[in-house]
Amino acid sequence: MEIADSRVKVKRLSDTKKSLLFLIPSLILLLIFFIGPMVLTFIFSFTNLALTGAAAKHTEFVGFENFTRMFEDPEFRTSVWNTIVFVFFSAILGQCLLGFLIAFMMKEKNVTFRRIVGLIIIAAWVTPEVVVGFCWVAFLSDNGTANWLIGLLGFKPVAWLFSFPMVSVIIANVWRGTAFSMMVFQSALDEIPKEVEEAAHMDGATRWRIVTSITIPMVKGTIATNLMLVTLSTLGVFTLIYTMTGGGPGVETTTLPIFMFKQAFVSYQLGYGTAISLVLLAIGAIASLIYMKILKTKV
């Protein structure tokens, strides 16, 4: 036994170096397709890289030209604003708050009822993004279900995608993403011991008081992590907006990813496009660092 034990130890030691080989496939893939492009983003954003025109033949470093151009570009400013509006309303107010409210209301309800409601909301989440786009284009079209519904309430039909394009994409994104927050909050709320709330109730605390000073503080960590995760994933939303409005009408729903796409792949200004992605990446990196900080304090 003793010999076997020491043999195992020797094996573990000698294999430590060898087992670094296990990391090589990941490292190669990550270097070529993840870290490499990120470094390139940084480099390209200081060049006049383009697919067509004179710049296509002679790519040069242009210093901060892309960035000065960007900050003077009204379309860039609009898309930053649109991104903020989109993320705030669809991720923070929409998905997180609605997800929390649904999870909260579902607590201690009939199991079958919970299952059916949960299934419907999750079905929206499982549906592929492109399909979500179509469903909502049809739903919000002039003769669509939305206008039929508000017609029942006595309102005149609305050209949703033209008159309220931002509202439309926000609603669609809330529809698609709420399930995630709901599931996260459901498991967090289920972990709160029943006794804690009951004890507070016995002490005469009002319902509102229990929610604000017991329930919410107890899931504070979950709220923070979920908020960051949802913000990060909403920041990169491209497909949903692209299929629904294409960033239009005009630039009304052009968020940073759409703006980046237009500059890089429609106008073929790759240098300018990468400068925009660098901004997007920087916002993402900051949000990601905050998220990691929250995780650390939580664990």
Partner 1 sequence: MGQKSRKIETMIHYLILAVLALLFLLPLLWMLFASVDPHAKQALKVPDSVTLNNFKAIITDPKLIRSFWIGLLISACQAVLVVIVCVLAAYPLSRYKMKYRKSFMTTILFMTSLPMTAVIVPVYQLFLHLKFQDSLVAVTLFLTASSLPYAIWMVKNFMDSVPLDLEESAWVDGATVLQGVRKIVAPLMLPGIFTVGIFTFTGSWGNFFVPYILLQTPEKMPASVTIFQFFGSYGMVNYGKLAAFSIIYSMPVVLLYALSQRFMSKGFSMGGASKG
Residues 54-113 interacting with partner 1 (rule: CB under 8 A): 102, 105-106, 109, 113
What are the φ/ψ torsions at residue 255 (nearest 5 degrees)?
A: -95, 175
- Determine the 3-state secondary structure of 61 from DSSP: strand
Among candidates 104, 70, 75, which has minimal Cα distance to 259? 75
Q: How far is the CB of 250 from partner 1 (least distance, A)?
A: 20
* DSSP H stretches of helix in 87-153: 99-106, 111-126, 129-140, 145-152
Chain positions 169 to 228 lying near partner 1, rule: CB under 8 A, are 175, 178, 207, 228
Chain positions 33 to 52 lying near partner 1, rule: CB under 8 A, are 33-34, 36-38, 40-41, 44, 49
Identify which of residues 6 and 213 has a Cβ nearer to partner 1 in the complex. 6
Chain positions 141 to 160 lying near partner 1, rule: CB under 8 A, are 141-145, 147-149
Identify which of residues 98 and 218 has a Cβ nearer to partner 1 in the complex. 98
Identify the bridge partners of residue 233 per DSSP, sorted by sequence position.
none
Among the listed ranges 65-73, 187-195, 215-223, 261-269, the one in contact with partner 1 (CB under 8 A) is: 261-269
Among candidates 161, 178, 187, 168, which has minimal Cα distance to 91? 178
Nearest 5 degrees, angle CA 176-CA 127-CA 166? Answer: 35
Q: How far is the CB of 6 from partner 1 (least distance, A)?
A: 11
Among candidates 122, 93, 92, 129, which has minimal Cα distance to 106? 122
Determine if 286 is a binding residue for partner 1 (CB under 8 A).
no
CA atoms within 13 A on the CB side of 298: 16
Identify which of residues 34 and 71 has a Cβ nearer to partner 1 in the complex. 34
Q: How far is the CB of 70 from partner 1 (least distance, A)?
A: 14
Identify which of residues 64 and 265 has a Cβ nearer to partner 1 in the complex. 265
